Amino acid sequence: MAQTVHILSESPSLVSQWLAEIRDEREQLDPMRFRRNLERVGEMAAMEISKVLEWEEHAVRTPLGESRCLKLRKQPVLANILRAGLPLHQGLLNYFDRAENAFISAYRKHAEDSEEFEVEIEYLSSPPVEGKTVILCDPMLATGTSMVLAWKALLERGIPDSLHVVAVIASTEGLAFAKSHLPGDTTFWVGAVDQELTPRKYIVPGLGDAGDLAYGAKD
């Protein structure tokens, strides 16, 4: 199965409205709304992902009889890259409310007096993922390095059956890097794709630092 990239804003929908507010520097002055809009994109992505997962029929007893209903064959594992990934993760969890969850801490370690950096994984909390569907999210897919390293960290918990990657905004460079380093059947769900990166590897026009906008500036 080949990799697939879904750009959620290509067809006009509420995602387009939420992305406009997420990017708008005036709207960004309201961190609660910023977080909620990231969460909404996660909810929309969850709904779209649910359409391609495996379902099976079950008999459900109602007060008046029996109904044949579809239920997910297996629950996914929702994984996010801290801290910016938390609102997006919550959106996914609002819909996949029976899912297991994984948390990965990654950060950019800058060389002194240089724009160069390495991404380091500090922490992983995850259930076993062997044979499961993993949905891995991070709002910004800039270089793609964090996403790839987070995936490799998850492999310490087993080999999943499938991988879905969710991002609010990706760069063309980051998307290409992720596609070349993640499994060949990975499915990408991205709000929008921007063409440029700054020398410090921030997406242009992008939205700025998603973690700072959601939770406040860090040292």
Average pLDDT over residues 98-105: 96
pLDDT at 119: 72
By residue range, what is the domain housing residue 89? 4-215
CATH code of residue 143:
3.40.50.2020
pLDDT digits (tens, 9 = 90+) for 175-202: 999 999 999 999 999 999 999 999 888 9
Average pLDDT over residues 2-10: 95
Alpha-carbon distance of 1 to 142, in angstroms, equals 25
Average pLDDT over residues 9-15: 94
Average pLDDT over residues 100-122: 76
In sequence order, the β-bridge partners of residue 120 are 107
pLDDT digits (tens, 9 = 90+) for 119-163: 788 889 999 999 999 999 999 999 999 999 999 999 999 999 999
pLDDT digits (tens, 9 = 90+) for 35-71: 999 999 999 999 999 999 999 999 999 999 999 999 9
Average pLDDT over residues 92-114: 85
pLDDT at 141: 97
- Note the residue count of the chain: 219
**Per-residue 3-state assignment (H helix, E strand, C coil) for the chain:** CCCEEEECCCCCCHHHHHHHHHHCCCHHHCHHHHHHHHHHHHHHHHHHHHCCCCEEEEEEEECCEEEEEEEECCCCEEEEEECCHHHHHHHHHHHCCCCEEEEEEEEEEECCCCCCEEEEEEEEECCCCCCCEEEEECCEECCCHHHHHHHHHHHHHCCCCEEEEEEEEEEHHHHHHHHHHCCCCCEEEEEEEECEECCCCCEECCCCCHHHHHHCCCC
Tally of domains within the chain: 1
**Within 10 A of 198 (CB to CB), how many other CB atoms are there?**
11
